[in-house]
Structure 1
Amino acid sequence: MPASSSAARTILTGLHEVMASRLGAQAKLNQVVEIIGESLDSEVCSIYLLREGMLELFATRGLNQEAVHVTRLAMNEGLVGALAQNIETLNLAEAATHPNFSYRPETGEERFHSFAGVPIVRKERSVGALTVQHGDPRRYEEVEIEALQTVAMVLSEFISNADLIDEQEGFDANPQMNGPQQLTGMTLVKGLARGSAVYHQPRITIDHVMADDTEAERQRVYRAFDRMRDQIEAMANQAEFGVEGEHAEVLQTYKMFAYDEGWSRRINEAIDSGLTAEAAIERVQQRTRMRMRQIDDPLLADRMHDLEDLANRLLRIVSGQMGTAASMGLRQDTILIARNLGPAELLEYDRRRLKGVLLEEGSLTSHVVIVARAMGIPVLGRARGVRAVVRDGDEILLDATQALAQVRPVHAVAQAFETRSQRSRDKQASYAALRGVEPFSRDGERIFVMMNAGLRDDIPMLNLSGADGIGLFRTEFQFLVSAALPQRERQTRLYREVLDAAGDKPVVFRTLDIGGDKSLPYLRKDGDSADENPAMGWRALRLALSREGLMKAQARSLLEATAGRTLNVMFPMVSEPWEFDAARNVFEQQLAMMKQRRRPLPECIRYGAMLEVPALAEMLDVLAPRLSFLSIGTNDLTQFLFAADRSNPRLAERYDWLSPAILRFVRRVIGSLAGHRIDLTVCGEMGGRRLEALALIGLGVRRLSITPAAVGPLKELVRKIDTREIAAAMERWLSEPVSDLRTQMIRWAEERDIEWD
């Protein structure tokens, strides 16, 4: 048996006898410090517990007994306060050299030089400290520190059961957990939301720390490791997993930790010392957390986070608590908190209760963000330190637009937020009044306002928003939220349901835009490698044409679903005319096969392309005669034009849709289509913003496809403008470009009482 396990085992054996005795709580603690001191041959052993926000000396061997219940330290005061505040271990050969050293004369500790201490942690919060001291200057051995950490776990259960601390105080004594706090992050989906904090994976409470049967606990851990490893292997083979664009790297790290003998050995040693399986995992996890706080290397810190995440998975398996908050159901308006989420996990939640999402990680291009945007749920990402600030049930005011969240807000802040939210609701009500109104400008120009969709549940928004149709139905959403490739019958059923719900309003289906950053593990082939630049990688039409069976199945599904109706099908990321022709041929071949088999056929097929790759603009004169419609995809187009990754926050200011460069490009595209009977639509976030939409209308765009939430505001905008006036202004601004067109347009809009974002 390793020395650390032996030392801890000796102490725990003595503690078990003390805990089983009929002594009172104080008497038990008095015996505990004697047992620890003797076992570690330490002259001093002391226990401090959190009472009324202060760390109070509760029991000691070696210090003056008169100091018990007299010496009290604030969190972060003295060595004891520092280790409790920071939830860290201290091991000092000379205590007085530490910057937090604070001498308390009533304790009589001036004759002791060495000091070691560990926090007593309950539910991830400090509720006390266990310390040892020695007269000679020396650092305690690692086995002694690990023994102290193990004993501290047992003490946390004992002091909780004995009501020696106020459980809630353990949280509130941490300044970050007490009173209002503000978290900042990165806006992933704009919006305002208010609700109670709910963790996607609720914390697990360990009720039993000391084991009755060590071998039985070891077998439980072995079985949990086997099951966890099976899950990781399954992720590699069939399920979506990991951070966007880093799938292989993250999965490899997970597998490395899952099979790491050192990690499993440390858990085994903790079991040898007398802990239950759950307590042993938590014991090793606490050690990992303490190490994480000392790591400055961000890459190494991320790897330690991976181990923490995997330890949580192992703890859930061994405890049998595998459910998420979704499986338990939301009982009130909720702000969901998670490290990361998959799109399928998000869709499991009750939309009536889920008001917003707060992620510790997340990126602009992650799958869950795409789905959340379609659902209209605000998301704030990269909110570091959430678990150190937010408790279950805390009130949160989420302002994803301003990239911040108020936790436990004071009344004045909550009132101001509610006033702002009410203004937003009033605005939404005024937009709803325009639901049945056709958007004509003041000079009589009809602007067609379409909406983007991708989920079956998006379709009711078609009537609720009053949109003219669905200008972009992202068919890849069905693939993103599935753990396996959706069969053709499932695809057909979805497309038919969408068309039935849309009625007489047109629906434009975009074929699969997957690959690159929207990687689907179940479509990955052996030998496939991750793109270094996913946005410009093997994705969309490029991938679909290389996977002929995939595109044939989708073509057949769309043709069958639109029998007797008009099929509007659009191909994404077309770079050259031959790619459009190749994609159209796939549909025509499937159509010929259906004719041969006398299957019901679409009444009409309209083929379109998405202009996202600038190269296609140079070939529109060649492609235009074959097109029924063209959609400009501003999200990808703009980042390609500016060579600016839209997921990189450092490039946000350079990703400006009101740059003369992008506006001149759009104007040139519009001009190249003159004389062709082609419907031109602008799709993406650019068209959903007031100033940007105003600029597009001034360039001659008459069809916009935007998020459902932007339909009402855009209708209101159209009714306030004269298209001839804004067209003249745009011509003037683009002929002699100014350094800041946005400022010019804001001034122009304000002079005409036109609201802007």
Structure 2
Amino acid sequence: MSAVAAARSILTQLHEVMASRLHAQGKLNQVVDIIGEALHSEVCSVYLLRVGMLELFATRGLNQSAVHVTRMGVGEGLTGTIARNVETLNLAEAAAHPEFQYRSETGEEKFHSFAGVPIVRNERAIGVLTVQHVEPRRYEEVEIEALQTVAMVLAELIHNANLVDDDDKSGLSQAHSGQETLTGLTLVKGLASGAAVFHQPRIRIEQTVAEDTESERQRVYLAFDKMREQIEHMTNQAEFGVGGEHDQVLETYKMFAYDEGWGRRINEAIDSGLTAEAAIERVQQRTRMRMREIDDPLLADRMHDLEDLANRLLRIVSGQLGTAASSGLRQDSILIAKNLGPAELLEYDKRRLKGVLLEEGSLTAHVVIVARAMGIPVIGRVRNARAIIREGDEVLVDADRAAVTVRPSQGVLDTFDTRFTRSKEKQAAYAKMRDVEPRTRDGQRITVMMNAGLRDDLPMLSMTGADGIGLFRTEFQFLVSDAMPQRDRQTRLYRDVLDAAGKKPIIFRTVDIGGDKSLPYLVNDTSREDENPAMGWRALRLALEREGLLKVQARALIDAAAGRVLNVMFPMVSEPWEFYAARNVFESQLAFLKARKHTLPEAIRYGVMLEVPSLAETLDLIAPKLSFISVGTNDLTQFLFAADRANPKLAERYDWVSPSILRFLRRVVRQLDGYSVDLGVCGEMGGRRLEAMALIGLGIRRLSITPAAVGPIKELICKLDSAEISAAMDGWLANPPENMRTTLQQWAEARGIEVE
């Protein structure tokens, strides 16, 4: 008999049992008889998880007096091992296995062969189904597959009858009921706590046994067609291009989508009597068990691809396509996802979304840029987060230390709450700085501006008391759109920003896309060859080649700023001619609109971002043509040190207050002496108290930072004597100390200035 026929024979009988009016115990008693008869097995037993222990709940062949008496812990004996590892065991001689434990009350001493499969619900074992035989023999593959299929149906019966511990609280599989600590990579700093919410909620399979096999088969065929359409669309997106390692990954992904073997296995599961959803889950369970046995990381990755496709297929066939954002957050929440796009993040209620955990994620991911602007802590590369954390679990996010605590003990919760309260108290104290003009003790006025990129950021301008927006990232509108934003849509956003700012200045950075900020709707013929996208076809380089893109943005900005001063900044300028070319695009659009009697800006002030070190060598040539320069410390640092900041091994290796960076910046300050150019820093460096102190010591008088940093930096400025720190910096840079950071900390501490 084939595995399909064996399983179908059992499921047909089980369907009748499940539909009967027997109580749950009576049903399970019949189930073990049905399975034992069908597989010609002398023993068939069901163990269920109750109060954290596996309890013999029904048996055919073992002593009936052992039912509800024999109990073992998870990981104890062969049955406990199956539950702990969520794996199948098939042994010709059970006693030869190192985990074997003899239970005298069961009368199992005469049985040699043993096979067992986990009864799984929501990726966690809630019990174990076993068979035994007197003669030593391994069970046939068809028998094992039949057992696995039956175990899946049993999971539904057991859950519906409330026979086991709530599987969302069970201590099996990879999740545990106690406290867990996970680590990852800090993507956006901060502290947060809340209930775990999965971006893609787990699919609940309510019915496992099919009423009409052909109908289920058609549902799967239609789902396959839709899934393949999605995959074709995804792989044809321009951002992927052709050639390179990513192309091979996508081809493998496509290969699985069209794999006849995969489809055949799902069909066989339907033939055995399962619904479309249950059949996909059945094959998926087998894949997961195989994944646990694979040591080869490359093969394991491929199996993960198949898992991802199965999830996609399951969502399509079940019609459960929405994310957690669709149903809304009901309480303070920590969002759990494999990965996340910027538009997806913006769908969530900002008031209740407190933190994000990603199993993947990188420092340069689009979602990180948006999360930082929203002030939401993010930790990436949290391995197995979706397996260890359960929906609704209490989660503490310490993105300052890249640590996650799941189901915290009361002691840990109290400690975290104390830290969180202190953090809030500090923020409250900093909030009082809103109306304080940031001047040093010796009277130097430091301009403290904020970075922004979303319409939602604008209220922070008045809440923080920032002097303006020193960096408005116009690419956010591009990153969260499915198509290139039209000119009128861009104009509305820029006008709204200017209206909200009132008399405070806004510096609009022209679009910085391309490279690691690829857009699916933007055809890119060269970025696919970029081995280091940060230094590739991006920012102004892209905009000058795609002049239509820059023309549309220029016209939108000029129209939006009618009757006001427009500040425009060009990113990633490497040589003066690039600045001149970009300025000419704006000047030509200005002339075009003037000829058509449009109301024009009162003035246009042009500036550049100093990110590429080569620009520092030509400042004397370009400075007379500029109104302002903003140093982009994030990119400048990685270019100076030839260190990719997206690489976690290098992210913390080079210090922002190393003599190399500080000497470079001081040289820029001195080169601009005598020019009426406003020099500032816009980047993460300016938002850290110790680094900001060093920048002020170098002569920097404008900082543009995250809104959360405005209060702390204002408070720092009011405690500093700029002449004193400048003199100290001159001495340290002439003869650098062994550790500049430690030296700065000690200098600040001696003056009662907190710099952490």
Alignment correspondent of 1:309: 308
Matches within 5 A, 1:50-199: 50-168=49-167, 171-172=170-171, 176-199=175-198
CA contact (8 A) 1:555 1:586 kept: yes
CA contact (8 A) 2:331 2:352 kept: yes
Matches within 5 A, 1:477-556: 477-525=476-524, 529-556=528-555
SS in 2 for 1:522: coil
CA contact (8 A) 1:10 1:39 kept: yes
Alignment correspondent of 1:734: 733
Change (3 A) 1:175 1:518: closer
Alpha-carbon deviation of 1:9?
1.1
SS in 1 for 2:57: strand
CA contact (8 A) 1:238 1:484 kept: no
Matches within 5 A, 1:663-678: 663-678=662-677
Change (3 A) 1:275 1:240: farther
SS in 1 for 2:81: helix
Matches within 5 A, 1:599-638: 599-638=598-637
Q: Distance in 2 between matches of 1:309 and 1:454?
A: 33
Q: Distance in 2 between matches of 1:465 and 1:271?
A: 60
SS in 1 for 2:265: helix
Alignment correspondent of 2:230: 231
Q: Distance in 2 between matches of 1:250 and 1:450?
A: 43
CA contact (8 A) 2:527 2:533 kept: no
Question: What does the per-residue CA deviation read over 1:673-696, in whole Å, with 9 as the maximum and x for residues that have no partner?
Answer: 111110111111000001100111
Alignment correspondent of 1:320: 319
Change (3 A) 1:171 1:606: same
Q: Distance in 2 between matches of 1:228 and 1:726?
A: 62
Identify the range of structure 1 (695-704 vs 550-559) with the bigger mean alpha-carbon deviation.
550-559
Alignment correspondent of 1:374: 373
CA contact (8 A) 1:127 1:170 kept: no
Alignment correspondent of 2:357: 358
Question: What does the per-residue CA deviation read over 1:448-507, in whole Å, with 9 as the maximum and x for residues that have no partner?
Answer: 011111111111111111111111111100000011111111111111111111111111
Alpha-carbon deviation of 1:220?
1.0
Identify the range of structure 1 (334-343 vs 164-173) with the bigger mean alpha-carbon deviation.
164-173
Matches within 5 A, 1:577-726: 577-726=576-725
Q: Distance in 1 between matches of 2:192 and 2:246?
A: 31
Identify the range of structure 1 (388-397 vs 211-220) with the bigger mean alpha-carbon deviation.
388-397
Identify the range of structure 1 (661-670 vs 646-655) with the bigger mean alpha-carbon deviation.
646-655
Q: Distance in 2 between matches of 1:296 and 1:186?
A: 24
Change (3 A) 1:303 1:592: same
Change (3 A) 1:299 1:511: farther
SS in 1 for 2:679: strand
Alpha-carbon deviation of 1:247?
6.6
CA contact (8 A) 1:343 1:480 kept: yes
Q: Distance in 2 between matches of 1:58 and 1:394?
A: 29
CA contact (8 A) 1:614 1:640 kept: yes
CA contact (8 A) 1:50 1:170 kept: no
Alignment correspondent of 1:561: 560
SS in 1 for 2:256: helix
Name stretches of at least 5 consecutive residues in structure 1 with no aligned partner.
none
Change (3 A) 1:451 1:534: same
Identify the range of structure 1 (487-496 vs 66-75) with the bigger mean alpha-carbon deviation.
66-75
Query: If the length of structure 1 is used for normalisation, what is the TM-score?
Result: 0.96
Change (3 A) 1:225 1:128: same
CA contact (8 A) 1:50 1:169 kept: no
Alpha-carbon deviation of 1:250?
5.5
CA contact (8 A) 1:478 1:486 kept: yes
Alignment correspondent of 2:458: 459
Alignment correspondent of 1:474: 473
Q: How many residues align?
A: 754
Q: Distance in 2 between matches of 1:662 and 1:157?
A: 62
Change (3 A) 1:82 1:285: same
CA contact (8 A) 1:208 1:279 kept: yes
Q: Distance in 2 between matches of 1:609 and 1:191?
A: 31
Amino acid at match of 2:9: T
Alignment correspondent of 2:441: 442
SS in 2 for 1:588: helix
What do you get for the CA RMSD once the two structures are aligned?
2.0
Q: Distance in 2 between matches of 1:678 and 1:526?
A: 37
CA contact (8 A) 2:527 2:537 kept: no
CA contact (8 A) 2:179 2:408 kept: yes
Question: What does the per-residue CA deviation read over 1:267-321, in whole Å, with 9 as the maximum and x for residues that have no partner?
Answer: 1111111001111111111112222222333333333223222222221221122
Amino acid at match of 2:287: T
Alignment correspondent of 1:751: 750
Question: What does the per-residue CA deviation read over 1:138-158, in whole Å, with 9 as the maximum and x for residues that have no partner?
Answer: 333332222111100110111
Q: Distance in 2 between matches of 1:428 and 1:65?
A: 66
CA contact (8 A) 2:325 2:348 kept: yes
Amino acid at match of 1:604: A
Alignment correspondent of 2:339: 340
Alignment correspondent of 1:264: 263
Alpha-carbon deviation of 1:624?
1.4
Alpha-carbon deviation of 1:376?
0.3
Alpha-carbon deviation of 1:18?
2.7
- Identity across the alignment (%): 74
Q: Distance in 1 between matches of 2:236 and 2:565?
A: 38
Identify the range of structure 1 (138-147 vs 493-502) with the bigger mean alpha-carbon deviation.
138-147
CA contact (8 A) 1:195 1:333 kept: yes
Alpha-carbon deviation of 1:34?
2.6
SS in 1 for 2:311: helix
CA contact (8 A) 2:609 2:629 kept: yes
SS in 2 for 1:471: strand
Alpha-carbon deviation of 1:135?
3.5
Question: What does the per-residue CA deviation read over 1:330-353, in whole Å, with 9 as the maximum and x for residues that have no partner?
Answer: 111111111111111110111111
Identify the range of structure 1 (368-377 vs 727-736) with the bigger mean alpha-carbon deviation.
727-736
CA contact (8 A) 2:491 2:557 kept: yes
Q: Distance in 2 between matches of 1:81 and 1:239?
A: 50
Alpha-carbon deviation of 1:405?
1.6
SS in 2 for 1:194: strand
Q: Distance in 2 between matches of 1:496 and 1:175?
A: 52
Alpha-carbon deviation of 1:164?
2.0
CA contact (8 A) 2:123 2:173 kept: no
Alpha-carbon deviation of 1:255?
2.9
Identify the range of structure 1 (17-26 vs 549-558) with the bigger mean alpha-carbon deviation.
17-26
Q: Distance in 2 between matches of 1:483 and 1:248?
A: 22
